[in-house]
């Protein structure tokens, strides 16, 4: 029998990689997408299957994590073997602007799904994966962080995800549901949303290199993160649901880098050498040398990075470093793509996009560049 999976957040970064992966494993994949005024399926268009064709294995349903009856109906119709709850208002900074909405989607949304599984009597038929996060550690109590490190959330996003984390544990303990928290550290890719720091950097510097943007405005570039590749991490989401007993796992690389270092890598890949002035947050990056071929629009002395306090957070998570020993031991976890390689892949993709836009501009055509960051 073909296994059926339901993915919330299928149109997001992880949802798109996970859908690809599950289709490769022979699953029938159902995804919940939100109604939007524009097409919002760009990340999964390449795996789209025409519903008019016989037996499509990818099926999309309109829905929202704030809508209980909709979620219950979809679960009832699909009868999934596995649910991957990846849908979320996932931007930490935005959660300070929209704390109630974030709590509703990220916290109560998880409860709605768990309760629908129980209501439909599917506790022993449906396995549940919850996209938990290293943001739970927030103000870190020990380094590196493992499954036993105490939590101290530092944002409405993290507090909502903490509620979801405990509901997953509670449904496991109270009702015997096979439910797991994947405590994933930051993971990125060329499909990363444009306002998360890595993509903001690779996209911004690629545009600067092509003369489409002058300067990149950044927040706390001294923040430290444990960055992995989303493609590596979705395999672990699936593996967690294939074990004999449900457990929570930290997924991380065990390596830490600063935002500043990531900026330097991205610039290096574009042939731009940066000199960072000073060590503090009033720092600017000054271009010292330029490879003419790769960064035609950048001249020595150009200031291409400035610090803008608007990107500082009311409470910051300064440092995160994961200890993935348990996942390595029990799931055979080995991250294949290093942060440095991931940065190069992201630059390659963003440079391609920027070059296409530069070509349009050179021919007097409108460039579809959003300045939002
Ligand atoms: P994205 O922001 O790329 O994707 C989020 C997805 O959730 C999108 O498909 C989005 O839809 C959907 N969504 C947002 N609001 C709702 C809603 N109200 N109802 C239904 N769906 C909704 O996130 P990622 O792919 O990066 O992350 C996946 C999950 O993993 C998230 O829960 C995130 O919090 C968590 N996580 C991510 C980490 C990371 O480093 N990437 C690390 C740890 C945890 P739309 O496309 O319409 O906006
Ligand atoms: P994070 O990711 O908050 O860790 O949450 P993000 O990439 O947004 O920030 C990482 C660090 O970079 C600093 N920073 C900036 N961040 C953004 N977005 N924009 C800037 O201009 C900027 N300048 C510096 C931030 O302050 C922060 O310290 C991500 C999300 O995917 C969550 O959903 C997920 O749970 C966690 O990772 C693990």
- Which of 182, 68, 179, 65 has its CA nearest to residue 124? 179
CB 353, CB 204: distance < 8 Å: no
Q: Is the dihedral of CA 191, 195, 198, 202 positive or negative?
A: positive
Q: How far is the CA of 92 from the centre of ligand 2 (A)?
A: 7
Active site residue 135: yes
Q: How far is the CA of 95 from the centre of ligand 1 (A)?
A: 13
**Cα distances (angstroms) measured from residue 369 to each of 72, 311, 354, 365:** 39, 20, 9, 12
CB 242, CB 337: distance < 8 Å: no
Q: What is the pLDDT of residues 154-180, one digit of tens each?
A: 999 999 999 999 999 999 999 999 999
Tokens of 140: 């870190």
Q: What is the ipTM of this complex?
A: 0.99
- Per-position pLDDT tens, the chain of length 373: 899 999 999 999 999 999 999 999 999 999 999 999 999 999 999 999 998 988 999 999 999 999 999 999 999 999 999 999 999 999 999 999 999 999 999 999 999 999 999 999 999 999 999 999 999 999 999 999 999 999 999 999 999 999 999 999 999 999 999 999 999 999 999 999 999 999 999 999 999 999 999 999 999 999 999 999 999 999 999 999 999 999 999 999 999 999 999 999 999 999 888 888 765 555 566 776 655 555 678 888 888 999 999 999 999 999 999 999 999 999 998 899 999 999 999 999 999 999 999 999 999 988 776 666 6
Q: Is the CB of 219 under 6 A from ligand 2?
A: yes
**Cα distances (angstroms) measured from residue 49 to each of 35, 53, 59, 87, 363:** 19, 8, 8, 21, 35
pLDDT for the residue numbered 292:
57
List pocket residues of ligand 1, CB cut-off 6 Å. 8-9, 11-15, 32, 34, 36, 40, 64-66, 86-90, 105, 131, 133, 184, 186-187, 193
Ligand closest to Cα of 31 equals 1
pLDDT for the residue numbered 289:
61
- Which of 312, 226, 211, 213 has its CA nearest to residue 261? 226
- The helix-helix angle for 259-269 and 197-209 (nearest 10°) equals 30
| Mutation choice for ligand 2 from 102, 196, 233, 283, CB with most ligand atoms inside 8 A | 196
How far is 96 from 274, CA to CA, in rounded Å? Answer: 32
How far is 92 from 95, CA to CA, in rounded Å? Answer: 5
Ligand 1, atom 14, lies closest to the CA of 88
Ligand closest to Cα of 225 equals 2
What is the number of the ligand 2 atom nearest to the C-alpha of 259?
12
pLDDT for the residue numbered 1:
85
Only one residue has tokens 């025409």, namely 50
CB 320, CB 155: distance < 8 Å: no
Q: How far is the CA of 106 from the centre of ligand 1 (A)?
A: 9
| Mutation choice for ligand 1 from 14, 89, 132, CB with most ligand atoms inside 8 A | 14
Tokens of 298: 């950048």
**Cα distances (angstroms) measured from residue 276 to each of 62, 147, 218, 219, 303:** 47, 36, 13, 15, 10
| Mutation choice for ligand 2 from 154, 162, 197, CB with most ligand atoms inside 8 A | 197
How far is 185 from 145, CA to CA, in rounded Å? Answer: 10
Q: How far is the CA of 197 from the centre of ligand 2 (A)?
A: 5
pLDDT for the residue numbered 301:
82
**DSSP code for 46:** G
Active site residue 157: yes
Q: What is the pTM of this model?
A: 0.97
Residue 202 buriedness (CB in 10 A; 0-12 / 13-18 / 19+): buried
CB 285, CB 204: distance < 8 Å: no
Q: What is the pLDDT of residues 303-321, one digit of tens each?
A: 899 999 999 999 999 999 9
Active site residue 133: yes
């Amino acid at each position: 029998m073909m296994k059926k999976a339901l993915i919330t957040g299928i149109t997001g970064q992880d949802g798109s990689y996970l859908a690809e992966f599950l289709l490769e494993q022979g699953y029938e994949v159902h995804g919940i997408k939100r109604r939007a005024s524009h097409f919002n399926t760009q990340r999964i268009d390449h795996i789209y299957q025409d519903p008019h064709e016989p037996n499509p294995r990818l099926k999309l349903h309109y829905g929202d994590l704030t809508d209980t009856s909709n979620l219950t109906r979809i679960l009832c119709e699909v009868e999934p073997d596995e649910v991957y709850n990846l849908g979320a208002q996932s931007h930490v900074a935005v959660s300070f602007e929209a704390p109630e909405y974030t709590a509703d989607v990220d916290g109560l949304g998880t409860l709605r799904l768990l309760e629908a599984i129980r209501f439909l009597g599917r506790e022993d038929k449906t396995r549940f994966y919850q996209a938990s996060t290293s943001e739970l550690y927030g103000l870190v109590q020990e380094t590196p962080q493992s499954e036993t490190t105490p939590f101290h959330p530092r944002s409405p996003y993290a507090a909502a995800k903490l509620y979801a984390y405990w509901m997953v544990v509670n449904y496991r303990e109270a009702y015997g549901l096979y439910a797991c928290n994947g405590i994933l550290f930051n993971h990125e890719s060329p499909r990363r949303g444009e306002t998360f720091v890595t993509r903001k950097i690779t996209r911004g510097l690629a545009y600067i290199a092509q003369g489409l943007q002058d300067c990149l405005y950044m927040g706390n570039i001294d923040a430290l993160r444990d960055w992995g590749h989303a493609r590596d991490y979705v395999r672990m989401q699936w593996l967690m649901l294939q074990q004999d007993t449900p457990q929570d796992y930290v997924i991380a690389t065990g390596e830490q880098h600063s935002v500043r270092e990531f900026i330097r890598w991205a610039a290096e890949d574009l042939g731009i050498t940066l000199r960072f002035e000073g060590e503090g947050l009033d720092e600017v990056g000054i271009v010292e040398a330029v490879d003419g071929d790769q960064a035609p629009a950048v001249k020595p002395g150009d200031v291409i990075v400035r610090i803008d306090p608007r990107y500082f957070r009311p409470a910051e998570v300064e440092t995160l470093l994961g200890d993935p020993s348990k996942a390595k031991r029990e799931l055979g976890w080995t991250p294949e793509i290093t942060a440095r390689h991931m940065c190069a892949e992201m630059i390659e993709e963003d440079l391609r996009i920027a070059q296409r836009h530069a070509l349009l501009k050179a021919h007097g055509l409108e460039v579809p560049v959003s300045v939002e960051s």
